[in-house]
């Protein structure tokens, strides 16, 4: 594990080819063992395909969301995560299903990677009854308690003290779970984050604080907002070790995130992970992103794209071909289109839903009365 | 019945609920080893240990959010603010997280917790440590706001609040902590959302909460000497409000005075006055009169401080005017 001070970025993974497709005739043993070994960690082909398909699915889902937003079918704020898919997917492969997770408002990719029903996620964006939170939250407030996904929080940094509470709960109950508390490079400047770092370290709570450093907090670049731009060092004053991970390489991210999660689970206390990533789109749909150059965006998009990278690795390892990826892309696009159609066909929430889910124990006969204006 | 202080009543409520439910824990500044800044948590560390009675750094926003997250996993946090003045640092977690979590998550996550601590004016501590902000909290759907005025209510209401499955803002009164009152020996719960008629009367309705309930009861004694029988209603729960008890009383007395320590503008008195106007307009013989704190930051000098707060005399005069006996 890298501790604060050791920058691991810039390292390039070594792809070790296990077996080549030789005209497609592999033995059963070879099929079973086919995969990629990255930094000593073996990823079987099934997992590689799953990771690839999930990342591509998120990419196409977000593109569809952007399109639906342009058609004014999605309202309000809509923050897309195109470019950041390896972080969403790598983390899910590293975490257990029972681990807790919460993030900010850039949450579509995370909840999809977590395994929530994509039709319900799209329905939520469209404000439909079958939305993942019944049409009450929208883009910024995605929750799925069955998947231990606790939002979808709209106030920058707000989810960090909440994540502290989830971690505290695991300490209190001794349930062996880890909380993965995600924030952005903007969120990490909030005071609430340092209050949380302090208590998490003081009580050795099982939390991975994960910063998605996509270089811009809305329109403000990292160096204009942060005195210390090496964000993984932000935990030093709290004795929280930090790791910097290439968030554009899903295999590297999965490997390092697994180490971070293991650190937290083993009782050593919290750890801070900085995921170096990039969002291809603006901060939200209303942001034309004029604060950065076309060249910079292209450099990330074409040079470091996480999906293209994994595809190249898998082709090199003989686990897929360009044609098979093209076919997969067509299938996923078709799937996403069907999902959008199904979500759009859903009714809006019943008017009575306006008044539900405010209290678990509503008090009868006391004002204001749920369901009545007067 | 036993005679105990308001502070001891709160302490008993927490101790009983912590014994009953292992998911209840108390967290805040100085709650454990120091036994509470106001000694409300006296002895709880010894009784329940450091895992369930937890001292925090001075970090209100952080530990308020910790409570929200813990409650979302099914624990039952009691988060103490040394005073509610400091809770303003934690408003994001109370208003934007705790109050809205159930709604935003489509009913998936409840936040069953209590934020509690001393509120209202204290004595000679100046503008930042002496104020009533319950109207801020009472404005927010998703929160319940409870303010006990005596030891028996304090115990029964805190037990109900800890058992409640929603977020309860429980505002104690710093000056009332030493008040002694009779408290039942057997276990009891006072349901939230129920007002209490602290004194029956037929001439004027006086609605007062927290420390002002005591002021109103003293005023009622003065008024009785003049032949005016005041009915004193303590809402106990500010949100949601048991307005029916107030409306029923106004139907009998045909006039009302609303008392609060806090500022007048958009205060609790404004809300209650509006509800009386909306629901009991035809019962009123005179306008509802509000007795409130003056519209100034709390001064330090003893004479100025006294002038800034509602007095028994203010209540007496308002009641006389309301029932046409000025």
B69 touches chain A (CB under 8 A): yes
Candidate from B51, B108, B142 with C-beta closest to A143: B108
Check pLDDT > 90 for residue A4: no
Strand segments (E) across B47-199: 53-55, 76-83, 114-119, 143-146, 167-173, 180-183, 196-199
Check pLDDT > 90 for residue B301: yes
B237 touches chain A (CB under 8 A): yes
DSSP 8-state code for residue B325: -
Show Cβ contacts of residue A35 under 8 Å, excluding neighbours closer than 6 positions. A18, A42, A43, A44, A45, A47, A48, A317, A319
Per-residue pLDDT averaged across A159-168, rounded? 98
Question: Which is nearest to B235 in space by CA: B264, B266, B275?
Answer: B275
Report the pLDDT value the prediction gives residue A33, as an integer from 0 to 100.
78
Enumerate the β-bridge partners of residue B3.
B182
Contact indicator for A357, B102 with CB cutoff of 8 Å: yes
Residues of A with Cβ-Cβ distance to B28 under 8 angstroms: none
Report the pLDDT value the prediction gives residue A26, as an integer from 0 to 100.
52
Span A301-356, pLDDT tens digits: 998 999 999 999 999 999 999 999 999 999 999 999 999 999 999 999 999 999 99
Residues of A with Cβ-Cβ distance to B87 under 8 angstroms: none
Q: How confident is the model at residue A370 (pLDDT cuts 50, 70, 90)?
A: confident
What is the CB neighbour count within 10 angstroms for residue A96? Answer: 13
Report helix, strand or coil for A17: strand
Binary contact (A361, B164; C-beta < 8 A) = yes
Span A167-190, pLDDT tens digits: 999 999 999 999 999 999 999 999
Report the pLDDT value the prediction gives residue A179, as an integer from 0 to 100.
98
Residues of B with Cβ-Cβ distance to A152 under 8 angstroms: 104-105
Span B265-281, pLDDT tens digits: 999 999 999 999 999 99
Report the pLDDT value the prediction gives residue A2, as an integer from 0 to 100.
44
Report the pLDDT value the prediction gives residue A10, as an integer from 0 to 100.
38
Candidate from A164, A173, A191 with C-beta closest to B69: A164
Span A193-239, pLDDT tens digits: 999 999 999 999 999 999 999 999 999 999 999 999 999 999 999 99
Question: How do A220-221 and A216-217 pair as beta strands?
Answer: antiparallel
Candidate from A131, A169, A358 with C-beta closest to B103: A358
Show Cβ contacts of residue B186 under 8 Å, excluding neighbours closer than 6 positions. none
Q: How confident is the model at residue B314 (pLDDT cuts 50, 70, 90)?
A: very high
Report the pLDDT value the prediction gives residue A335, as an integer from 0 to 100.
98
Q: How far apart, in Å, do the first and last CA atoms of chain B sit?
A: 40
Question: Angle at Cα A41 formed by Cα A40 and Cα A43, nearest 5°?
Answer: 140
Report the pLDDT value the prediction gives residue B134, as an integer from 0 to 100.
98
CA B271 to chain centre: 16
CA atoms within a 13 Å half-sphere pointing along the CA-CB vector of A294: 0
Check pLDDT > 90 for residue B85: yes
CA distance A126 to A76: 10
Q: Is A284 left (phi over 0), alpha (psi -120 to 50) or beta?
A: beta
Report the pLDDT value the prediction gives residue A29, as an integer from 0 to 100.
53
Q: Is B294 exposed, middle or buried (0-12, 13-18, 19+ CB in 10 A)?
A: middle
CA distance B325 to A127: 59
Residues of A with Cβ-Cβ distance to B66 under 8 angstroms: 161, 164-165, 168, 196, 199
Q: Which residue has the tokens 């004795």?
A: A239
A278 phi/psi in degrees, rounded to 5: -160, 135
Per-residue pLDDT averaged across A95-109, rounded? 97
Tokens of A125: 């964006």
DSSP 8-state code for residue B202: S
| Chains A & B: contacts with CB separation below 8 Å | 168
Per-residue pLDDT averaged across B66-73, rounded? 98
Check pLDDT > 50 for residue A245: yes
Report the pLDDT value the prediction gives residue A20, as an integer from 0 to 100.
38
Report the pLDDT value the prediction gives residue B254, as an integer from 0 to 100.
98
Q: Average pLDDT of chain B? A: 98
Q: What is the ipTM of this complex?
A: 0.97
Span B204-248, pLDDT tens digits: 999 999 999 999 999 999 999 999 999 999 999 999 999 999 999
For chain B positions 153-192, those within 8 Å of chain A (CB to CB) are 164-166, 191-192
Q: How confident is the model at residue A19 (pLDDT cuts 50, 70, 90)?
A: very low
CA distance B111 to B101: 7
Residues of A with Cβ-Cβ distance to B105 under 8 angstroms: 133, 137, 141, 143, 145, 151-152, 357
Per-residue pLDDT averaged across A86-113, rounded? 97
Please list, residue by residue across A286-303, b when 16 or more beta carbons sit within 10 angstroms of its beta carbon and e when fewer do. eeebeeeeeeebeebeee
Check pLDDT > 80 for residue A111: yes
Check pLDDT > 90 for residue A1: no
A189 CA: distance to closest CA in chain B (Å): 14
Per-residue pLDDT averaged across A107-131, rounded? 98
Report helix, strand or coil for B29: coil
CA A134 to chain centre: 22
Report the pLDDT value the prediction gives residue A254, as an integer from 0 to 100.
98
Per-residue pLDDT averaged across B19-45, rounded? 98
Per-residue pLDDT averaged across A61-80, rounded? 96
Q: Average pLDDT of chain A? A: 92
CA atoms within a 13 Å half-sphere pointing along the CA-CB vector of B255: 19
The secondary element (H helix, E strand) that includes residue B163 is helix B151-163
C-beta contacts of A63-68 below 8 A and 24+ residues apart: A64/A122, A64/A336, A64/A337, A64/A339, A64/A340, A65/A108, A65/A122, A65/A125, A65/A139, A66/A281, A66/A285, A68/A125, A68/A126, A68/A340
Tokens of B319: 């009641």
Check pLDDT > 60 for residue A24: no
CA distance A23 to A9: 37
Tokens of B263: 């500022």
Binary contact (A166, B75; C-beta < 8 A) = no
CA distance A84 to A214: 8
Report the pLDDT value the prediction gives residue A7, as an integer from 0 to 100.
43
B227 touches chain A (CB under 8 A): no
Report the pLDDT value the prediction gives residue B35, as an integer from 0 to 100.
96
Contact indicator for A205, A164 with CB cutoff of 8 Å: yes
Q: Which residue has the tokens 């929160």?
A: B143
Report the pLDDT value the prediction gives residue A31, as an integer from 0 to 100.
56
Per-residue pLDDT averaged across B1-19, rounded? 98
Strand segments (E) across B140-255: 143-146, 167-173, 180-183, 196-199, 204-208, 230-234, 237-239
Span A305-316, pLDDT tens digits: 999 999 999 999
């Amino acid at each position: 594990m890298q501790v604060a001070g050791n920058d691991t970025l810039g390292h390039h993974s070594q792809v070790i080819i296990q077996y080549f497709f030789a005209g497609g005739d592999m033995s059963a043993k070879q099929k079973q063992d086919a995969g990629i070994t990255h930094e000593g960690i073996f990823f079987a082909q099934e997992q590689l395909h799953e990771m690839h398909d999930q990342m591509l699915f998120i990419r196409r889902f977000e593109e569809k969301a952007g399109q639906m937003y342009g058609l004014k079918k999605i309202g309000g704020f809509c923050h897309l995560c195109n470019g950041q898919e390896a972080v969403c997917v790598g983390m899910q492969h590293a975490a257990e299903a029972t681990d807790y997770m919460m993030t900010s408002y850039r949450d579509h990719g995370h909840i999809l990677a977590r395994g929530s029903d994509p039709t319900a996620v799209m329905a939520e964006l469209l404000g439909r009854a079958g939305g993942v939170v019944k049409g009450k939250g929208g883009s910024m407030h995605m929750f799925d308690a069955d998947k231990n996904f606790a939002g979808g929080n709209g106030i920058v940094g707000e989810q960090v003290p909440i994540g502290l509470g989830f971690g505290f709960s695991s300490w209190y109950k001794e349930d062996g779970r880890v909380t993965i508390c995600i924030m952005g490079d903007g969120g990490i400047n909030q005071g609430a984050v340092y209050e949380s770092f302090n208590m998490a370290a003081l009580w050795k709570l099982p939390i991975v604080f994960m910063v998605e450093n996509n270089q811009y907090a809305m329109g403000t670049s990292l160096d204009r907002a942060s005195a210390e731009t090496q964000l993984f060092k932000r935990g030093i004053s709290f004795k929280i070790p930090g790791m910097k991970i290439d968030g554009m390489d899903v295999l590297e991210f999965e490997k390092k995130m697994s180490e971070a999660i293991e650190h937290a689970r083993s009782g050593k206390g919290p750890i801070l992970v900085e995921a170096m990533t990039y969002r291809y789109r603006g901060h939200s749909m209303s942001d034309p992103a004029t604060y950065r150059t076309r060249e910079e965006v292209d450099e990330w998009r074409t040079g470091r794209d996480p999906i293209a990278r994994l595809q190249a690795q898998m082709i090199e390892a003989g686990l897929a071909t360009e044609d098979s990826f093209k076919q997969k892309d067509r299938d996923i696009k078709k799937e996403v289109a069907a999902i959008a159609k199904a979500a759009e066909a859903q009714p809006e929430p019943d008017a009575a839903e306006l008044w539900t889910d405010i209290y678990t124990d509503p008090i009868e006969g006391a004002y204001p009365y749920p369901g009545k204006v007067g | 019945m036993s005679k105990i202080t308001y502070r001891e009543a709160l302490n008993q409520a927490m101790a009983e609920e912590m014994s009953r439910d292992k998911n209840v824990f108390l967290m805040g500044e100085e709650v454990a080893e120091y036994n509470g800044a106001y000694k409300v948590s006296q002895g709880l560390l010894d009784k329940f240990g450091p895992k369930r009675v937890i001292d925090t750094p001075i970090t209100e926003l952080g530990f308020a959010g910790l409570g929200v997250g813990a409650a979302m996993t099914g624990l039952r946090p009691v988060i103490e603010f040394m005073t509610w003045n400091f809770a303003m640092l934690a408003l994001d977690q109370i208003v934007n997280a705790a109050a809205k979590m159930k709604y935003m998550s489509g009913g998936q996550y409840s936040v069953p917790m209590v934020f509690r601590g001393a509120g209202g004016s204290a004595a000679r501590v100046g503008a930042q440590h002496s104020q009533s902000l319950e109207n801020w909290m009472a404005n927010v759907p998703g929160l319940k706001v409870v303010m006990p005025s005596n030891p028996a209510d304090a115990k029964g209401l805190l037990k109900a609040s800890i058992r409640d499955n929603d977020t309860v803002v429980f505002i104690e009164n710093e000056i009332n902590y030493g008040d002694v009152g009779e408290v039942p020996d057997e276990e009891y719960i006072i349901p939230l959302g129920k007002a209490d008629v602290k004194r029956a009367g037929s001439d004027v309705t006086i609605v007062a909460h927290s420390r002002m309930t005591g002021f109103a009861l003293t005023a009622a004694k003065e008024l009785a000497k003049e032949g005016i029988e005041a009915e004193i209603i303590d809402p106990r729960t500010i949100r949601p409000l048991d307005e029916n008890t107030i409306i029923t009383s106004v139907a009998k007395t045909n006039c009302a005075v609303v008392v609060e320590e806090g500022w007048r503008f958009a205060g609790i008195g404004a809300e209650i006055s509006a509800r009386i106007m909306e629901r009991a307009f035809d019962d009123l013989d005179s306008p509802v009169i509000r007795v409130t704190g003056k519209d100034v930051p709390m001064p330090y000098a003893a004479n100025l401080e006294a002038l800034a707060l509602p007095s028994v005399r203010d209540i007496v005069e308002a009641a006389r005017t309301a029932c046409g006996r000025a």
